[in-house]
Amino acid sequence: MLQAVRAERKRLSDRDAVLKEREDTLLTWLKEEAPEQTSLPLNGEDKRQPATALGRFLERALSTGVKQTTDELSVLAQADPEVSEKYAKPAKAINFTLQGWKR
């Protein structure tokens, strides 16, 4: 029984050595044939910034991933001085902006 276990361990050790050699060969081939892709602007590096104060506010508010109603966003917008001084009714402006983004 002990002999069988030792033989199996030896076989697995030999197989592991072969697999490590194959892995090294494949990694070498990958380095030679496929250089790393350069970063593309589509990866989010040169992300466009919204042009309006409301757009910037909405992007910040929605970036958390938490769902919020228009009324909740309106309350947050009233606390933002850049948005509150430009829009008398932020809820209406938020609704129009979000509808525009949807299309």
In DSSP notation, 34-102 reads -PPPPP-GGGTTTPPPPSSHHHHHHHHHHTT-----HHHHHHHHHH-HHHHTT-SSHHHHHHHHHHHHH
Residue 73 · residue 53 · CB < 8 Å = no
Q: Are residues 14 and 57 in the same domain?
A: no
Q: How far apart are CA 93 and CA 79, in angstroms?
A: 15
For 18-63, what is each residue's pLDDT tens digit?
Answer: 999 999 999 988 887 766 666 555 555 555 666 788 888 888 888 8
Please indicate, yes or no, if residue 40 is contained in any of the structural domains: no
By mean pLDDT, which of 12-16, 73-77, 98-102 is the weakest? 98-102
Q: Are residues 21 and 63 in the same domain?
A: no
Q: Are residues 19 and 56 in the same domain?
A: no
For 61-96, what is each residue's pLDDT tens digit?
Answer: 888 888 888 889 898 888 888 888 888 888 888 888
What residue numbers bound the domain in which 71 lies? 51-102
Please indicate, yes or no, if residue 57 is contained in any of the structural domains: yes
pTM of the model as a whole: 0.49
Q: Name the token pair of 73.
A: 């966003």
Q: Are residues 58 and 96 in the same domain?
A: yes
Please indicate, yes or no, if residue 74 is contained in any of the structural domains: yes
**Strand, helix or coil at 1?**
coil
Q: Name the token pair of 90.
A: 């932020």
If one counts the domains in the chain, the total is 2
Please indicate, yes or no, if residue 82 is contained in any of the structural domains: yes
pLDDT value at position 89?
82
